[in-house]
Chains A and B, each alone.
Chain A
């Protein structure tokens, strides 16, 4: 209690059993899926908007900051406190409050796990479309904060396209509902809050769009000798006017790791695997899958499998879903990047990625959302070897630079957080960032929420890591 006079007040707000402050209890909350870690001063587990509001007021009075945390699956250090902070956890705010089929909406608390929402509506043939690979664990609150993506964003859009309304707690403790089931007049504040990385305020309720499930889905797995051919196929498919629900690529390093892990049956010579999914009406899929396979053949496809039952489709996806876990066989740690480039620049950017790997002597595995131009180079390494982590971070920066130079940007779906904040000036000018900060000031004039994120602070990634006792590396990460 010494030095934490506010702890008693915090317990009065949420109850003694909903406050964690013992160092052992805080261990769980000091990391996410990134290379950073630092424990908060205490964790509060509120169960209502009113309690969140009271915590926000208490923090304001006590000179503490607030960091909201979902499931901690994020990859950018977005929930790592950089100052003394109360962390708000949402494990007691995970109710689906309303499902409204006539209006195709769901009102949820931020702690609801992404996949549980689809689970609640699938018997009525609806689903919640954004599907980050961590969807079995990640929360919808975290998804909104980072504007999460996922393999099926190609056809269905990112989180931002599915958020209709938000209940938020502002810095003064005021609770407001933005947006709603009908279109609201005024500046699109809901749109601006999505992806604001917890720096505007605390989201306490989320109104989401539900999507009707198409009658049929086909999954096509295509094997190429060269990754350039797979990229060429992607460009050619899109240029032909086919927009599949998903278009994913795995490179040779990943394929071999997957093969060693789950014995999928990929040929030894496979240089790239393209996984495409088409959904809709059966007649449309028939036309589209024929055209898609034709394009793949023209690009040099060696082998193709097609699946139209849930079991067979699951089997084709197994390799993709096992990819990250399989990479754990190559080295104890991996570090994932999230650069985006225009789709037509995929092949040239992957060449740059390979060159960066050679320059730093690193194995880089690529498994990525090709249809969106969203790369995920994974650098596998051993953090126990002195200097390796620093090398990996440098290589990651160089890869992101290459993405920016190709007309792309720093993050497609993981967010900026602590990890990439120093790179923001590669993309945005001082005035661009000043305008963003003006917007934050509208909601949080004193910077109470999640300070030190998104914008450069002058500290290098290396310095930030050095502040920690040892880096926590994405063992439980997903992409």
Chain B
């Protein structure tokens, strides 16, 4: 891409978009790259025009919701325009009896949940920093929370989408009905695409009723072997927890948290059955949480990867859930001060390594960590690390054989590399 700076400035200026003054642009820096323009289109049409201008002038665009996932991914090769979605906001359609909701992509996550709670409904989905994070960035980052154990991830509840592609075309996929095989399921590609395929402007999501009750069992153990023995119990899936997390937080014990929902008698029976399994491994603590205490605890787990250790090097792992114990054991041997939090039933989570424990990506322990994940059939993604690492390292630490197909998808939808070039898997 050869940037035609003057033409870009003239055209963006001429569009009369809301933009931030030069001295505030640093607030929108990504990996220390400061954009030339930070603009907030008023509607999808303006956003489409801006994307066309970028294509004409060789400018690269980074999309910006609330900025909560902006540190993730590789450093973009070029960053000229930050396109913020704060004006593409609002709840567009919600018919409670349909159990679906259509929202503009720039709507803050919490605003959607607050709206739904007035109808005794919810998205079965949690994201860190929900006041700030938008629906669009939660989709583009494929952010998920503890409830995915029961309800799945964005791919399971996104039923319709509107996106603006690199040629400025506004494209619709899916619809507003919960069952749909009308045409290809293009919308799946945008989930987790990190803003590299197009701008999500609107999403229709399945919602679920709020549960009548909720009860959490917290159990902690002296060793991680005991914890994973409990998690491997073949009876556990039949207790149907809505969420099943495992953790090693500042308290240094190895623990699990299981949340049950429904009628009080059923929850008690589920909790009793789980407690019995836990007691077989002599837990250090075994407690039940309800109400505010329960909500606060899950909030801590949702934010643990971001907050438990300030400035930690944060690695996201994904493994078959049966391999979680083996990988965790290998990982803690390599980094004894590391903390963990994750979705035990889904084989995915985070390892937080104090920055003092890992100096550079060439450290033998760090290399060995990557090999361990591969040995346990898993993959690693470096979510957060010292900025200097990002210059030479692909944040997707495990090579993926299907990268050639991912490249073809990027070329098919964004042939000019307008959207965050180089940010995605394999630097596409």
- Which residues on A are within 8 Å of B, measured CB to CB? 100-104, 125, 146-147, 149, 153, 157-158, 160-161, 176-178, 180-189, 191-192, 194-196, 212-215, 235-236, 238-239, 241-243, 280-284, 286-287, 340-344, 369, 372-374, 407-416, 420, 424, 427-429, 431-436, 438-443, 454
Which chain B positions have C-beta within 8 A of A195?
181, 184-185
Which chain B positions have C-beta within 8 A of A441?
412
Q: Roughly how many angstroms separate A184 CA and B316 CA in the complex, as a whole number?
A: 11
Q: Roughly how many angstroms separate A344 CA and B177 CA in the complex, as a whole number?
A: 11
Q: A281-B262, A435-B186 are in contact. Are A183 and B180 (CB under 8 A)?
A: no
Q: Roughly how many angstroms separate A355 CA and B212 CA in the complex, as a whole number?
A: 42
A182 contacts B188, C-beta separation under 8 Å: no
Q: A149-B179, A281-B240, A431-B171 are in contact. Are A160 and B97 (CB under 8 A)?
A: no
Which chain B positions have C-beta within 8 A of A102?
232, 234, 320-322
B188: contacting residue among A157, A192, A369, A431, CB under 8 A: A192
Which chain A positions have C-beta within 8 A of B378?
182
Q: Which of B228-270 contact A (CB under 8 A)?
A: 232, 234, 237-238, 240, 262-266, 269-270
Chain A's nearest CB lies how many Å from the CB of B54?
18
* Cβ of B178 under 8 Å from chain A: yes
Q: A161-B152, A192-B185, A440-B184 are in contact. Are A432 and B320 (CB under 8 A)?
A: no
Choose, from B307-315, B359-367, B398-406, the stretch at the interface.
B398-406
Chain A's nearest CB lies how many Å from the CB of B179?
4
6 new A-B contacts, CB < 8 A, other than A212-B238, A280-B262, A283-B269, are A102-B321, A373-B177, A374-B179, A408-B176, A411-B182, A427-B183
* Cβ of B111 under 8 Å from chain A: no
B183: contacting residue among A180, A215, A342, A433, CB under 8 A: A433
Q: Which of B357-375 contact A (CB under 8 A)?
A: none
* Cβ of B92 under 8 Å from chain A: no
**Residue of A100, A182, A342, A454 with highest tally of chain B CB at under 10 A:** A182
Q: Which residue of B lies closest to A236 (CB)?
A: B97
A410 contacts B97, C-beta separation under 8 Å: no
B184: contacting residue among A104, A125, A149, A439, CB under 8 A: A439
B181 contacts A192, C-beta separation under 8 Å: no
Choose, from B15-23, B35-43, B190-198, B385-393, the stretch at the interface.
B190-198
A238 contacts B318, C-beta separation under 8 Å: no
Q: Roughly how many angstroms separate A342 CA and B175 CA in the complex, as a whole number?
A: 10
Chain B's nearest CB lies how many Å from the CB of A46?
23
Which chain B positions have C-beta within 8 A of A146?
181
B320 contacts A284, C-beta separation under 8 Å: no
B179 contacts A188, C-beta separation under 8 Å: no
Q: A161-B156, A186-B425, A342-B98 are in contact. Are A410 and B402 (CB under 8 A)?
A: no
12 interchain pairs, CB-CB under 8 A: A100-B320, A176-B405, A183-B348, A184-B400, A196-B185, A283-B266, A344-B98, A415-B181, A420-B182, A427-B175, A427-B182, A436-B183
Q: Which of B337-354 contact A (CB under 8 A)?
A: 346-348
**Residue of B97, B180, B321 with highest tally of chain A CB at under 10 A:** B180
B237 contacts A104, C-beta separation under 8 Å: yes
Q: A287-B212, A442-B405, A442-B409 are in contact. Are A194 and B185 (CB under 8 A)?
A: yes
Q: A160-B185, A238-B99, A424-B183 are in contact. Are A184 and B172 (CB under 8 A)?
A: no
Chain A's nearest CB lies how many Å from the CB of B157?
9
* Cβ of B143 under 8 Å from chain A: no
B178 contacts A372, C-beta separation under 8 Å: yes
* Cβ of B292 under 8 Å from chain A: no
Q: Roughly how many angstroms separate A411 CA and B396 CA in the complex, as a whole number?
A: 38
Chain A's nearest CB lies how many Å from the CB of B235?
10
A340: contacting residue among B180, B184, B192, B413, CB under 8 A: B180
Q: Which residue of B lies closest to A189 (CB)?
A: B405
Q: Roughly how many angstroms separate A286 CA and B263 CA in the complex, as a whole number?
A: 9
Chain B's nearest CB lies how many Å from the CB of A412?
4
B180 contacts A411, C-beta separation under 8 Å: yes
Which chain A positions have C-beta within 8 A of B98?
238, 342-344, 373
B172 contacts A191, C-beta separation under 8 Å: no
Q: Roughly how many angstroms separate A284 CA and B209 CA in the complex, as a whole number?
A: 14
A184 contacts B379, C-beta separation under 8 Å: yes
Which chain A positions have C-beta within 8 A of B237?
104, 212
Q: Roughly how many angstroms separate A158 CA and B188 CA in the complex, as a whole number?
A: 14
Q: Roughly how many angstroms separate A434 CA and B169 CA in the complex, as a whole number?
A: 10
